[in-house]
């Protein structure tokens, strides 16, 4: 047996949910460009879970079910109020999601019908948990969903209590569509490994959140925004980026293991970054991002990934930097639960082997001889 570092190039399972072939991302065979331009996030959720786009009746039913399932159990809210004010947002989300299982009477029901209902509850409650965590640490009470037909609109309302602007809803909805699934990424693999033991869906999603928390996966857009803030303004871009490149330091938000010719999702968020900047009257983050892309792509040949422009989009929406990855989780919950349902349908315990590189022919040494 010979190990492959990071399992790169290893095909670990079969899946009909999403694919990345020749640099093209599809959900259930539909190009991400078509979905980003035409579909709502709720349509994508239905597509990932059930393998087809919904009819209007099916979409209305899903939207109704999501709204009806968005209330967080009061004990979980009370628990969140005990979290440290400086708690890591992904740690808070991971803890809250794990706690949700305690108050779901179907948590241990492994029937297909119950698992679909749990997927609906998780998809509905994650945005409510993130918004509630944000408000609690600001010294405010959580706000219940207003029953908008979209998760994006409800999330923005639950954060601020204000009617969200149409362009803001469109931007967040598009970001949710673009982040919904991405084949067998680290967090999705973690979810599938967990539920392959026939553990419950909440355990699978909790595992996925733990994997997404890492800066090499979900935390990249936070790092991009930290970089933009460190640069300070458009006039400082050249010196900052050139210094990084000359010192062979990594520029966050560029390159991707599975995309050699650029991330197909990035262009959609680039467009939204400009529109949101124009809406707020401040396009400096967008201008900085464009200039950084010109420098990095021109000198290194690296192209931006989906994280790069999502940073300026979320900032223009007034979302704090440390909530970027939890929003990623809100979107990716649709993919995680789709993969969990698929794993349950054709399950086999995921148990790879390891190439042993330790010592051999060793023997026990009595205590007095050590």
256 given a catalytic annotation = yes
d(CA 226, CA 243): 17
d(CA 168, CA 303): 26
Q: Which of 173, 181, 263, 307 is catalytic?
A: 307
Contacts of 173 (CB under 8 A, 6+ apart): 40, 41, 150, 151, 152
322 given a catalytic annotation = no
Q: Which of 261, 266, 323 has its CA nearest to residue 289?
A: 266
Cβ burial 83-114 (10 Å sphere, 16+ → b, else e)? beeebebbebbbbbbbbbbeebebbeeeeeeb
Contacts of 261 (CB under 8 A, 6+ apart): 23, 303
Q: Which of 256, 263, 268, 339 is catalytic?
A: 256
d(CA 112, CA 62): 17
Q: What are the residues facing 30 on neighbouring strands?
A: 27
Which residues participate in catalysis according to the annotation? Answer: 256, 307
């Amino acid at each position: 047996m010979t190990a492959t570092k990071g399992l790169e190039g290893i095909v670990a399972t079969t899946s009909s949910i999403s694919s990345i072939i020749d640099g093209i991302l599809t959900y259930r065979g539909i190009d991400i460009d078509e979905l980003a331009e035409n579909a709502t996030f709720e349509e994508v959720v239905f597509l990932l879970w059930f393998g087809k786009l919904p009819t209007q009746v099916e979409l209305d039913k899903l939207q109704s079910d999501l709204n009806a399932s968005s209330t967080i159990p009061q004990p979980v809210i009370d628990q969140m109020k005990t979290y440290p004010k400086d708690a890591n947002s992904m740690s808070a989300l991971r803890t809250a999601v794990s706690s949700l299982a305690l108050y779901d009477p179907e948590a241990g029901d492994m029937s297909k019908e119950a698992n679909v209902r749990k997927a609906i509850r998780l998809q509905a409650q994650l945005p409510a948990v993130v918004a509630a965590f944000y408000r609690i640490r600001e010294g405010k009470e959580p706000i219940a969903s207003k029953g908008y037909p979209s998760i994006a609109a409800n999330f923005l309302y639950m954060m601020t209590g204000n009617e969200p602007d149409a362009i803001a809803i469109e931007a967040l909805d598009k970001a949710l569509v673009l982040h919904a699934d991405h084949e067998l990424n680290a967090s999705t693999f973690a979810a599938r490994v967990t539920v392959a033991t026939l553990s419950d869906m909440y355990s699978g999603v909790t595992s996925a959140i733990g994997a997404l928390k890492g800066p090499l996966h979900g935390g990249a857009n936070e790092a991009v925004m930290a970089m933009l803030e460190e640069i300070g303004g458009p006039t400082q871009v050249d010196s900052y980026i050139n210094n990084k490149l000359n010192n062979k330091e990594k520029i966050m938000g560029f390159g991707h293991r599975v995309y050699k010719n650029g991330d197909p999702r990035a262009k959609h968020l680039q467009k939204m970054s400009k529109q949101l900047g124009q809406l707020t009257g401040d396009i400096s983050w967008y201008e900085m991002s464009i200039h950084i892309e010109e420098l990095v792509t021109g000198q290194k040949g690296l192209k931006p990934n989906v994280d790069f422009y999502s940073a300026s989009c979320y900032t223009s929406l007034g979302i704090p930097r440390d909530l970027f990855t939890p929003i990623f989780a809100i979107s990716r919950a649709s993919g995680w639960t789709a993969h969990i349902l698929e794993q349950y349908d054709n399950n086999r315990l995921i148990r790879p082997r390891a190439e042993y590189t330790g010592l051999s022919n060793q023997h026990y040494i009595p205590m007095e001889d050590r």
